[in-house]
Structure 1
Amino acid sequence: MQSVTIVGAGVVGHASAAALRAHGYTGHLTIVGGERHRPYDRPPLGRGFLTGETTIGELALEAPSEDLGAEWRLGVPAVALDAAARRVTLANGRTLESDAVVIATGSSARRFDPMPRGVHTLRTVEDALALREELLPGARMIVVGSGIVGLEVASTARDLGLQVTVLGSTTDALCTAFGGAVADAVYRLHSRRGITVRTDLRVAELIGPGWVSGVRLTTGEEIGADVVLLDIGSVPLAGWLGEAGLDLRGGVVCDAAGATAVPGVVAVGDCAAWFDPVTGLHRRIPHWSDTRDRPGIAMAALLGVDPATALAPARVTSEQGGAQVQFAGRLRGGEDVTVEAGSPSTGDLVAVYRRGSVPVAVLGIDQPLLVADWQGRLEPAPVDPVMDASAPG
């Protein structure tokens, strides 16, 4: 293998390039990105970057001494892939041919249609800059969706002096992933800081046109707003692969090591629907530390190096309502949840998730020592790089 093209210059693209070099790949490496920025860390966008405490330079993922020896093609997205020929076509009409292609284009935020002015999503630096201009003291902000990112932004906006209302649903990621008791404990953290949190409801439409003036619920109730943030999930950025001949059901379908059905084409990150050997289904993992861990497995398999046989527990740390929320593990749904310390009412709990009698995940609020202790007891997830023909889950 003499040449590799990575399509996607974000966290996953950077991690894939670093993994290739770490596994001994010395050939030509091209990294394509639709954004003009070099790889940067996205979680701080909803926290310090919105307040101006964190600069774009501080978000950079590349260490000052790091040299991946790559050719960077930034600001020009890929628009097509001939998978069999491993040929990538860019928006400017140029093509790149290589021995292997790594698809790492990530996902985009779900949106409403139409989107009046004053309505935002948060995925990129440009998104954060646009939102930051409208976080003015005294303004009314609505966060639609009660996921991790939306709640972080709600907390930041409240600190900046905005009147903040969070409109959540029982289908939001926080509730479906971690359970109602944990979700309620996190909501209480925000309520104590003066944020209005309303759950078990749905937004039917944004009130416009022109500048947004509020939202209308499915019940007909209208709530006024000067600025709105949507945190209602994501969709894989795979539309550019429509003619590539790949299976795109629920993302780029691949095996447990990221390989697609086309030799020399792999997918990583939250555009990829990886095969889970435990459940027998394909699914996207759109967040947490898997964006950094799975590229190492995929690049090892691509180079013919024995990949890891197990994944470490996925990890996420978030600042929520002035408290530190930590998670480690892998949830598939249906786990038994027990509160091992603290309580939902005090907001300092430790919740442990088990399948049978085996602990598979832990979540803590302001309990770093107990979370670290439980994390050491978690079972690693197996990696069995065998393609499965079943429909993605």
Structure 2
Amino acid sequence: MPSATTTHQATSAPVRKPGSTAPALFLTLIAVCSAVTAANIYLAAPLLSLIARDFGSAPSAVAWIASVAQFGYAVGLLLFAPLGDSVNRRRLVTGLTVVTTAALAASAAAPGTAALAAAVFVTSAATVVPQLLVPLVAERAPADRRARHVAAVIAGLFAGVVAARVVGGLAGQAFGWRAVFLGAGVLTLVLGLATALVLPSERRPRTGHLFSGIPALPGLVRRSPDLWRACVRQAGMFGAWSALWTSLALLLTGPEYGLSTATAGLFGLFGLAASVVAPLAGGLVDRFGAARVVRSAYLLAAVAVPLFWLGGQVIWALFVAAVVIHAALVASHVANQTLALTTTSTPATANTAYVVAGFAGGAVASALAGSAFSHWGWGGVCAVAGVWLVLGWTTTAVRR
């Protein structure tokens, strides 16, 4: 359950003026923008076999590009997300949108794996717009519905992550992987600029230098046990999901199943179905607290890992596992991020610590999963996911 500190801050939050909460249209635009921008991080995952064929490599030899994307996102979060507490978010969203679009165009024109990895890194580092918007939504939401509003944006974000596999796989098979990156650039530019235009004009107080929020992160996490717990538990959950989801295309397009890139991409539909969990999780967090929802999410994930292992031989198990792991991830994310946003007086900086921890855990797990797949096959990937879940839960369970 949230600590007394969290409860006090939630109940002592200033009363917002009527009409200041995010309306449905505003939330919808932010959710769609979050979906498109978040998808950029995972564009490469369903296209690995096409990229490898184009560059004359084995799919496992280019799997590290998916990890580069997650490392890039973690770096971008570290650099840019804390600025939400001190700079004009409208200008920041506009600048990051332009940089992301240029990097996606560079990805489409990449002559080799090194150039592609560099462009993917820049794309992911600049595509942190959703994490600038989530604190804004939390600030504008009434306290008794905050988790529901955050969940609406998270639902859009995860829909984009999953749709990246479906749409990316289908479009890559039909038009080539370069066209996927180019099309993503166009969508990012249009929706990013549209979102920037509707953001409230604001003058943010600035103390210290522009990136002073970065050195404050360790102390902020150390002073807030709730924030620390949210960071570690989401790192474990997101790491388990990343290990399985970024390696799934290698299993499906490999000799075990021999599916095409487009058919493998359709597996994202099972994860997309689990995105409906976000609103339900938001309501449960508002009613029962974050701790109970996270505990239930970890139990779901613990069921999903052996199902994924069984899916190495039986495809129906992959269908069930894809739904279960996404439901667990979405519920965990709604609970942990709501806790992170309400446990300190600097929500953008706290959100940075939370999301950086999650994506750093995901990036490391993805890198280990790629190596495990090369050496031990799909069973090695499932083992990495299981270890990440154990670490995420037991590390927080022993600290009071």
TM-score by length of 2: 0.26
Larger Cα-atom Rg: 1
Higher relative contact order (CA 8 A, sep 6+): 2
More helix by share: 2
